[in-house]
């Protein structure tokens, strides 16, 4: 299983806004510059995160995005599901109708246990936890070079 780019960038977007948006809205162009990401792509992600009530948009000359709730109340799973849909390692763990063999599958209980464990871990961590532990990554700007630590988003 691998987290896709959309999920990773959504987490980076939310973490950047959490770090820089404590007193004013954060423009996407600023996030794009700091993160080395496309503003257009971030705009698509911001729309999905706003629709999930994780971000609020602020219009005007000094507009941008702010967190809809405190970072300590936003679960990592919420961000992932807003960006990419429900967490499921294979379709049949959340919908038996997705596979004709779901009722007789020898491994379905294992896949469901794995999926539940992933969901539990993602629910255990908040956006606040991520930004509180990311100080060594604060100056990394992305790009072709590897991050200074494996934990950098």
Angle at 20 between CA 73 and CA 149, to 5 degrees: 85
In degrees rounded to 5, what are phi and psi of residue 2? Answer: -140, 135
Taking 70 as the threshold, does the pLDDT of residue 126 lie above it? yes
Full set of structural domains in the chain with CATH:
5-85+127-137 (1.10.10.10)
Mean pLDDT within 68-94: 93
Contact assessment for residue 44 and residue 38, using Cβ atoms and an 8 Å cutoff: no
Which H/E stretch holds residue 66? Answer: strand 64-67
Give the pLDDT confidence score for residue 60 in this predicted structure.
Answer: 85
pLDDT of 79 higher than 60: yes
Is the confidence at residue 136, as pLDDT, over 60? no
The mean pLDDT of the chain is 86
- What pTM does this model have? 0.82
Q: Any alpha helices (H) in 2-126, and if so which ranges? A: 5-20, 28-35, 39-51, 76-84, 108-124
């Amino acid at each position: 299983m691998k987290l896709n780019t959309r999920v990773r960038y959504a987490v980076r977007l939310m973490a950047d806004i959490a770090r820089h948006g404590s007193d004013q809205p954060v423009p996407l162009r600023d996030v794009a510059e700091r993160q080395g990401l496309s503003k257009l792509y971030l705009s698509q992600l911001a729309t999905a995160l706003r629709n999930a009530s994780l971000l609020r948009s602020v219009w005007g000359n000094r507009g941008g995005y702010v967190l809809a709730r405190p970072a300590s109340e936003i679960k990592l799973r919420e961000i992932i599901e807003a960006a990419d849909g429900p967490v499921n390692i294979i379709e049949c763990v959340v919908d038996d109708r997705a596979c004709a063999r779901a009722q007789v599958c020898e491994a379905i209980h294992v896949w469901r246990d794995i999926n539940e464990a992933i969901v539990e871990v993602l629910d255990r961590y908040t956006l606040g936890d991520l930004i509180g532990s990311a100080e060594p990554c604060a100056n990394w700007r992305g790009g072709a070079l590897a991050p200074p630590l494996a934990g950098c988003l």
